[in-house]
Structure 1
Amino acid sequence: MTEYSEIEHLTDKDWENLCWHDNRIYGISLSYGKFHENLIIDIDYIVEWICRPDKTCSFLISPATLTFNQILDLEINIKCKHQGIYINAIHRELDKERSTLPDRLYYNWKIDCHYGSHVSFGASSFSRILRKKPILCHGQEIPFAER
């Protein structure tokens, strides 16, 4: 098991090393700036899957905030069954038309969720902040009272 000593704040440069599979979504909101909007998503981020030889797993999970900056073209399609909303994967692709300078890249994002749900949008950047040290859980989410 990995030792975690501080809350992590990761950004675009860390993108390739992040896994989003089975992270539960608790909330989606927008924050409004003077000339832009940010998309904010509250999730349980699975920091580490701890799988044993008997094929049982436990998980180190931290409540986390995903922020996507300067969003455009937001589309939300949510189908929520009795289990809640879980991320399958997050995809991003460079938007060459909106990326006007090498230091001002813009991406098209798609968050694929279970049951065909998705959130898609354009955004200039993202960050992921773990709000607490990871908690060892036997399921893929933190009990709500412990978040």
Structure 2
Amino acid sequence: MSTAVHPESGLSKSVWSDADFEEMGWHDATVHGLSVQQGEHVPRLLLDLDYIVRWVHPVRPAKSFSFWVAPATLVFEEVWEVQGGLDFTDLHLELELDEVHRLPPPDGREQWPLWHLQGHSFDLRFRAAGFRQYVRRAPQLSPGPAFSAAERGGCSFTELGFA
């Protein structure tokens, strides 16, 4: 049994990978930045997000959830066949994930599954060899699921988990 890196929130480690996919969830994670970087052979896709480590049920008289949240960098390696779009038809210019899906590749190339980032105002599908997610700072208990830019120290794509 592994010891939690952050016992209060239940976070068991600060660096995750696609091997942990079934244990993870990105519902309502706010995306603060998106970057495409050239990797060794093919591009990498990086997202700077506020990862919700745990939703906390309200205790009476409170009626709203609170959240254990931490800034994180989600990095997809060897990305190709990127398709999708953004839909900012109103003044609400915020990217928020609904779900991340790992789908079987349509051509049988198991080493490059199809990933689907389904958001409230965006949709991305692409092939990638896998991902790593770096929780950059210890989770904080917050009344909301996201931090302001000032609270999180701006946008970052640092690939280092907190100790």
- How does the TM-score come out when normalised to structure 2? 0.79
State which of 120, 128, 147 in structure 1 corresponds to 2:125: 120
Deviation at 1:142, TM superposition (A): 1.1
Q: Deviations over 1:67-126 (max 9, x none)?
A: 011011112311234151110101111325323xxxxx22101111114x2011000011
Query: How many residues end up aligned between the 2 structures?
Result: 141
Find the residue that maps to 1:13 and give its secondary structure: helix
Structure 1 regions of 5+ residues with no counterpart?
100-104
Q: More strand per residue: 1 or 2?
A: 1
- Most deviating of 3-12 and 130-139: 3-12
1:141 paired to 2:146 = yes
- Most deviating of 63-72 and 1-10: 1-10
Find runs of 4+ consecutive structure 1 residues off by over 4 angstroms: 4-7
State which of 127, 130, 139 in structure 1 corresponds to 2:135: 130
**Partner residue, 1:110:** 116
Amino acid at match of 2:127: G
Q: Distance in 2 between matches of 1:13 and 1:76?
A: 25
Find the residue that maps to 2:146 and give its secondary structure: coil
Q: Deviations over 1:44-89 (max 9, x none)?
A: 0000101124442111100000001101111231123415111010
What RMSD over aligned residues (CA atoms) do the two structures have, in Å? 2.0
**Partner residue, 2:94:** 84
Q: Distance in 1 between matches of 2:137 and 2:30?
A: 16
Q: Percent identity?
A: 29
Over 3 Å counting, the alpha-carbon distance change for 1:146 and 1:33 in structure 2 is same
State which of 8, 12, 27 in structure 2 corresponds to 1:3: 8
Q: Distance in 2 between matches of 1:45 and 1:138?
A: 14
**Partner residue, 1:94:** 104
1:13 paired to 2:13 = no
- How does the TM-score come out when normalised to structure 1? 0.86
Find the residue that maps to 1:146 and give its secondary structure: helix
CA contact (8 A) 1:6 1:133 kept: no
